[in-house]
Structure 1
Amino acid sequence: MQQVKKGDTVKVHYHGKLNDGSTFDSSEGREPLEFEVGAGMVISGFDNGVLGMTKGEKKTVNIPVDEAYGPKREDLIMEFPIDRFPPDLKPEAGMVLSMSNGEGQQLPVVVTEVREDAVVLDANPPLAGKDLIFDIELVEIAGGSSLIITP
């Protein structure tokens, strides 16, 4: 039976949970996730978790922080003067905003605290600093990548 190897394109159903059992993402009710194994399209722990699986196989993969979204970075938490917000925007803790990085890229940030003179924004990925658990079902191995290398 064919086993998943690096370079294969696969389709999987998944259920992502945190250590407390709460769900953060799932493919339930959607098309399976399709990606090329080893191409950096998913976090490394998920990539490594499907290696060696066969069609129809189900397994649970525990992914430590370093193979997921990495540790929470303090340099991505910043204070932003409240007077720089548009007057009609009233920031509240938990609110997700979009911020430009100066190169035209939009980055999601979460308001973590609102002070009298400043708002604390966190640009870390929401799952940074967390170990993740994925229940994975391999639906299909669609074959290797279409990249052909010739000498």
Structure 2
Amino acid sequence: MNIAKESVVTMNYTLKNDAGEVMDTSEGREPLVYLHGVGGLIPGLEKELEGKVVADKLNVVIAPEDAYGSRKDDLLKVVSKDGFQGEEELSVGMRVQLDTEQGPVVAEISDIKENDVTLDLNHPLADMTLHFDVEIVDVRTATADEIAHGHVHGEGGHQH
């Protein structure tokens, strides 16, 4: 069966940056299971997986515009240190969760100057060319329920 819209795909993957450092991998964990064609993966990877079959192995390079886009300066927010609860010492590079009107958002602290903390709300992989090694483990047709809900149910159906 070929991967097409409304296929449920199970795959192992390793994601590296241009320097060859592993950014994310399914190795040692469960494979990734996703519903194809509904925006569950970055567009560039979904396009490359279209039409593939079980046991196919791909090595895919995806430009930022087909992945997480470019970094945007307007996603840098300066907030007061007083707004943070907890005892933990704030440090550059630390990730914090913010509650916004759109729900929880993860930001990285990119700068601290006295009482001003700069939060970077850009996706951590923005501006990056992504290198994926992918192996297709399983392809099946989605159930009507999965299609209606826009994501996979049951075995291995956790969201990423």
TM bucket normalised to smaller: 0.7 to 0.9
- Corresponding residue number in structure 1 for 2:111: 113
1:53-94 alpha-carbon deviations (Å, 9 max, x no partner) = 121010111111011111111111111122333473431101
What is the alpha-carbon distance in structure 2 between the residues aligned to residue 89 and residue 54 of structure 1? Answer: 48
TM-score by length of 2: 0.83
The number of equivalent residue pairs is 146
TM-score by length of 1: 0.88
Q: Does the CA contact (< 8 Å) of 1:8 and 1:145 recur in 2?
A: no
Aligned Cα RMSD in Å?
A: 1.8
Aligned counterparts, 1:33-44, within 5 A: 33-44=32-43
Structure 1 window deviating more from structure 2 (8-17 vs 75-84): it is 75-84
Q: Kindly indicate whether residue 112 of structure 2 is the aligned counterpart of residue 138 of structure 1.
A: no
Change (3 A) 1:104 1:9: closer
Q: Percent identity?
A: 30
Change (3 A) 1:141 1:121: same
Q: Kindly indicate whether residue 61 of structure 2 is the aligned counterpart of residue 67 of structure 1.
A: no
Larger Rg: 1
**Residue 65 of structure 2: SS of its match in structure 1?**
helix
- Corresponding residue number in structure 1 for 2:80: 81
Q: Does the CA contact (< 8 Å) of 1:14 and 1:27 recur in 2?
A: yes
Aligned counterparts, 1:2-17, within 5 A: 2-17=1-16
What is the alpha-carbon distance in structure 2 between the residues aligned to residue 41 and residue 59 of structure 1? Answer: 19
- Corresponding residue number in structure 1 for 2:29: 30
